[in-house]
Structure 1
Amino acid sequence: MRQRLSSEPDRYRGRRRVPTPPRSRYAAVVTTAFVGAGVVALGAGGMPDAKAVSPSALADLEKAAATSSDVRDRAADADRASRAEDRGSLESTLADAPDVWLLPLEDYDFTAPYGMRWNELHAGVDLAAPEGAPYVAVHSGTVTKAGWFGGYGYCVIVTHADGTESVYGHSSKLLVTEGQEVKAGDQLGLVGMTGYSYGTHLHLELHVDGKPIDPIPYLQERGVDLKLQLEDLVGDVATS
């Protein structure tokens, strides 16, 4: 058998004969590989790399985001402050206004009206409430009496700008002193049963020109309605 030379075009792998690729096909494969690698390299070079972004640009972006967040926080704080200021302004306006009149108690039972009782003038109204409940000034003025006052027990008298006086009797404790300026809604004392009293209640009188008047219509004209409680009481008596 003739010995095959290494320069011959065909070769053997085991028992299967595999043709040697033509030189032209080998060149085409190599060329395609180089071209593909070049395209990939060009594509990679053309795409932005996040790590290659300028640090100063990133810093500017972070600063802008922080500034935007700070502006939002300041706007929210300003809005909350504005609402609080509006509420405070409204409360202050109501308290300081010289024509404001208020109820002396938030919760009470109307137990006795103004008028004759046991052949004597009951010169005010009685508002029953738990002992220690705070009562307030119905109108702004100056405290001209704060102490023991005979049958009124511990009593507060407030003289208003027009000379009208409001009298608060039977207190268990006084929270103001004589000469003190008060506004409508300021606490004057605590409900009790000192002096001539049959139970814990606030005795309220109003004096005009030094004489007692019925507080119900006087306060009603000024937007303060004690009569609603009185009507409930009268209705209960009529149906019993």
Structure 2
Amino acid sequence: MPARSARANYRGRRRLPTPRSRYLAVLTTAVVSSAVVALGTAAALPEPHTDGLSMEVSGNYEDITGRSGGLTGRASRADAHSTSETANQPAPDVWILPLHAYTLTSFFGERWGRLHPGVDLGAAQGAPFTAVAAGRVILCRWNGGYGYNVMIDHGGDIVTVYGHASKLLCRAGQQVKPGDELALVGDTGHSFGSHLHFEVRENDKPIEPLAFMRKHGVDIQKHTESVYS
């Protein structure tokens, strides 16, 4: 009986927690509380990328890229169109001297009872002479009293003539620019000494070349060109 009563009394008592058990209980409670607080805070915060700024950037990135590409494409097309228009524009009306080292030895007008239709520019044998303006070569060959002769059609019924060359450097049908070499100075045909015979024709009639060239910014007597002044 005494032993039985002692066991019954033992089962009826509450066992006091040890200090370690109390520590574990407090730690568990803190962890659970922190989790609850974190869940509550997460519920209160907005979803990632749902604030106005983030949505605007992330949602429109492709649109912005596309618009930028479109703008770049339009700019490139505009540049190409501008370049094409520039390339198709006519060249400026540039006129220059046919030679730079020369002496004006003969003028336009009556000479020995007949018209001398141009001016003579004395120069060294073999010196290259050039086109005075842009145009198309319509004659490049031996031509009687002109010797080796070049003629250029500049449009507007204007043709320039270059005579007495020693050697031809161009061909009929060739498009030339101001300064393109045509031939070398010589003494061929009806010539008395090495020189370039230069003339200007309008509507197939010779006109006074010095005045014509001055109107186009070139003074043969003064050896000047306005385009290079």
TM-score of Structure 1 vs Structure 2, range by shorter chain = 0.5 to 0.7
1:216 matched to which residue of 2?
210
Residues 89-125 of structure 1 show CA distances to partners (whole Å, capped at 9, x for unaligned) of 33x2x47xxxx562364x7334325429xx8769314
**Residue of structure 1 equivalent to 2:96:** 103
> What corresponds to 2:161 in structure 1?
167
Corresponding residue of 1:88: 87
Residues 112 and 70 (structure 1 numbering): CA distance in 2 closer, same or farther, change over 3 Å?
A: same
Per the TM alignment, residue 70 of structure 1 is displaced from its structure 2 partner at its CA by 2.3
Alpha-carbon separation, structure 2, partners of 1:227 and 1:104: 7
Say if 2:125 and 2:185, in contact at 8 Å, map to a contact too.
Answer: no
Q: Call closer, same or farther: CA 1:192–1:129 in 2, change over 3 Å.
A: same
The answer for the alignment partner of 1:225 in structure 2 is 218
| 2:184 is the alignment partner of 1:192 | yes
- Mapped pair 1:123 → 2:121: no
CA contact (8 A) 1:125 1:215 kept: no
User: In structure 2, do the counterparts of structure 1 residues 34 and 211 end up closer, same or farther at CA, with 3 Å as the change threshold?
Assistant: closer
Cα shift readout 1:186-219 (whole Å, capped 9, x = no counterpart): 88862313425856x7542124687755422122
Per the alignment, in what secondary structure is the counterpart of residue 102 of structure 1? coil
Which stretches in structure 2 are left out of the alignment for 5+ residues? Answer: 1-14, 50-56
So what's the TM-score if we normalise by structure 1?
Answer: 0.54
Which blocks of at least 5 consecutive residues in structure 1 are unaligned? 1-6, 12-19, 51-57, 233-240
Give the match for residue 72 of structure 1. Answer: 71
Partners of 1:197 and 1:43 in 2: how far apart?
111
Determine what percentage of the aligned residue pairs are the same residue.
Answer: 18
Counterpart residue number, 1:34: 32
CA distance in 2, matches of 1:210, 1:112: 24
Please tell me the residue identity of whatever aligns with 1:86: E
- Asked whether the 8 Å contact 1:124–1:206 carries over to 2, the reply is no
**CA displacement 1:11-66 (0-9 Å, x = unmatched):** 7xxxxxxxx4896x98666444322222223445646457xxxxxxx997564244
SS of the aligned residue for 1:41 comes to helix
Aligned residues: CA RMSD? 5.0
Q: Does 1:136 align with 2:131?
A: yes
What SS class does the counterpart of residue 192 from structure 1 fall into? Answer: strand
In 1, the alpha carbon distance for the partners of 2:127 and 2:47 equals: 78
User: How does the TM-score come out when normalised to structure 2?
Assistant: 0.56
Q: What is the match of residue 237 of structure 1? A: none
